[in-house]
Structure 1
Amino acid sequence: MPPPTAISHVLETCIYVKSMAAAQNFYTDLLGLKPDLATDRITVYPLGQTTLLLFQLGRTSNDIVSEEDPSQIIPKHGPTDDLMAAFQSGEGKLRQHFCLAVPSREDAEKWEAYLRGEGVPITGRKEWPRGGYSVYFADPDGHVGEIASRGIWEHY
């Protein structure tokens, strides 16, 4: 049997953060993203057709069950307890990767200069065969952020 309706795009990408306040400062104040929702557990950034979710590390370890209808459940997710100890002690890092899109190479280069000027660690850069350009950086939790121009993939 074939799958049902075709999947159109990734709706949400999530990363886990040790300090929500530090992450909100980085993503909202430094990157200029506008949160739709910001709590001590989750921050939601709408980005075109996708959504970047920041989750406080350790705050997604239990199912969320609706009081009105117990069949409505958001399942627990994130690191297991054995990995949590390493992350919280500073011994481990998730180094999750995410990529933010800009229209042109010039835009990506402007972001590279801006991030460098703000003291954000630039961890790499790449010129792609289709003409795209990527700059990689570390966020406060050591996640691998990327800002990329058109031309890194056939569809972008």
Structure 2
Amino acid sequence: MTPKPHVPRFVLETALYASDLDAAADFYKNTVGLQEDSRVPGRHVFLRCETSMVLLFNPAATDKASGKLPVPPHGAIGQGHICFRAEPGELGAWAAHLANTNIEIEADFHWPGGARSIYVRDPAGNSVEFAEAKLWGFDA
């Protein structure tokens, strides 16, 4: 019998979908501070987030097999969600930074357990959250 693998420790990558990849990439690079790793114009932009990746895909280009790699077609229509972990005490600086870059804060509140979250929208309408790790019971 094959042994069961260990439970994954981290999310390696997450994908969001945006028809206007340039606008979405600009937001994640210039507002959030991620670094561009690679790009295929009209198809995807991959961005580094320390030890994980944020993959931005044009849904019209990923709903069919690429033919180059054995990756199955995928995609989503509509708004997705991503949450970035903020260090304790950082959310005030994030709120100020977002306000200074004319990004409207949709919600800024404290959860019943005491964690704080700030929500904004990227240019594609995806929900972007900045939250303290204690939201999910993780240590800072």
Q: Same fold (TM over 0.5)?
A: yes
Match of 2:91 among 77, 91, 108: 108
Matched, 1:76 2:60: no
Uncovered stretches (5+) of structure 1, i.e. residues with no partner? 67-71, 84-93
Match of 2:66 among 64, 67, 90: 64
Q: CA separation in 1, counterparts of 2:40 and 2:64?
A: 17
Matched, 1:51 2:58: no
> What SS class does the counterpart of residue 46 from structure 2 fall into?
strand
Root-mean-square deviation (CA), in Å?
A: 2.0
Counterpart residue number, 2:110: 127
Name the aligned partner's letter for residue 14 of structure 1: A
Q: CA separation in 2, counterparts of 1:135 and 1:99?
A: 9
**Which aligned pairs between 1:24-35 and structure 2 lie closer than 5 A?**
24-35=25-36
Name the aligned partner's letter for residue 45 of structure 2: T
Q: CA separation in 1, counterparts of 2:50 and 2:100?
A: 27
Q: CA separation in 2, counterparts of 1:138 and 1:115?
A: 11
Q: CA separation in 2, counterparts of 1:114 and 1:46?
A: 20
Q: CA separation in 1, counterparts of 2:18 and 2:101?
A: 20
Give CA-to-partner distance per residue, 1:62-85, whole Å, 9 cap, x none.
Answer: 11334xxxxx51000014xxx6xx
Contact 1:36 1:45 in 2 (8 A): yes
Q: CA separation in 1, counterparts of 2:48 and 2:30?
A: 15
Q: CA separation in 1, counterparts of 2:107 and 2:74?
A: 30
Larger Cα Rg: Structure 1 or Structure 2?
Answer: 1
> What SS class does the counterpart of residue 136 from structure 2 fall into?
coil
Name the aligned partner's letter for residue 65 of structure 1: G
Counterpart residue number, 1:90: none
Contact 1:126 1:133 in 2 (8 A): yes
By how many angstroms is 1:7 displaced?
1.9
Name the aligned partner's letter for residue 78 of structure 1: G
By how many angstroms is 1:137 displaced?
0.4
Name the aligned partner's letter for residue 118 of structure 2: V
The size of the alignment, in residue pairs, is 137
Matched, 1:96 2:80: yes
Matched residues, percent identical?
29
By how many angstroms is 1:130 displaced?
4.0
Counterpart residue number, 1:6: 7
Range with bigger deviation, 133-142 or 1-10: 1-10
Name the aligned partner's letter for residue 138 of structure 1: R
